[in-house]
Amino acid sequence: MIAQDKIIAGEAYVSSTSGKAVLAKGMKRRCGSEKCKSKVCSISDVQRQKIFNAVYGIKGLQQQREFIVRHVQFKAIKRKRTDKEVSRSSETFEYHLPRSDGMSVVCKTMFLNTLGISEKTMLTALSKRTEEEIVEPDRRGGRHEMLNKRCKNESFSIRTHSEIS
């Protein structure tokens, strides 16, 4: 299994650039319920582990991003906290995790810690969302024609031209 597949699967791997060993992803601890703003993080650790295993069982970065996009929703803010006409914040995020009896609203900390991801990973996934609620595919990699390789006819004509001159 190459490093990129291990990264997507959340497994330990050795970095190709620095040569350092990177630990496997793991589910982080739940939010501190006494400090939790939403006070609705009522999802069991067993269910959290099932969600974590399901997300990292998905074989593809795009599918993992689709999971994140499906479970984070935009909502209009309930009250305006500034006197300015134009506010930077017009929407807020609402985080959901699946349970056996439907979806459960959780706080941001619980959502990120259950999936073992950073806020940047979540924001990247949300930035890939199109107006049609589809996640754009990753455009990296693939096979490209090498720019320094030319077809044989073209290189032959260049050589014959230089011989004539």
Give tens-digit pLDDT for 17-72. Answer: 888 898 888 888 887 766 666 667 778 888 889 999 988 888 888 888 999 999 99
126, 136 contact by CB (below 8 A): no
The tokens for 117 are: 């991801």
> Domain for residue 52, yes or no?
yes
In a domain, 112, yes or no: yes
- Is 71 inside a domain boundary? yes
Is the per-residue pLDDT at 145 higher than 80? no
- With pLDDT > 70 as the criterion, what percentage of the chain qualifies? 78
Taking phi first (over 0 means left), then psi (-120 to 50 degrees means alpha), and beta for anything else, what does residue 10 get?
left
- The answer as to whether 2 is a domain residue is no
Query: Two tokens at 34?
Result: 């006494």
- For residue 74, what are the domain limits? 27-137
Between CA 97 and CA 48 the distance in angstroms is 8
The alpha carbon torsion through 63, 66, 72, 77 (nearest 10 deg) reads 160
77: alpha, beta or left, given left = phi > 0 and alpha = psi -120 to 50? beta
Q: How many domains does the chain have?
A: 1
Q: Which of 110, 118, 116, 122 is nearest to 37 (CA)?
A: 110
Distance, in Å, from the CA atom of 37 to the CA atom of 39, rounded to the nearest integer, reads 6
Q: Is residue 69 part of a domain?
A: yes
Q: What angle do CA 78, 102, 117 make, to 5 degrees?
A: 70
Q: Average pLDDT for residues 99-107, to the nearest whole number? A: 85
Contact 126, 134 (CB under 8 A): no
Angle of CA points 71, 49, 122, to nearest 5°: 35
Instruction: Say if CB 75 and CB 5 are below 8 A apart.
Output: no
**Is residue 8 a part of any domain in this protein?**
no
pLDDT tens-place string over residues 106-129? 888 889 999 999 999 999 988 888
Q: What average pLDDT does the chain have?
A: 80
Answer yes or no: are the C-beta atoms of 92 and 74 closer than 8 Å. Answer: yes
Q: From residue 73, give the alpha-carbon distance in Å to each of 48, 93, 95, 131.
A: 19, 6, 7, 13
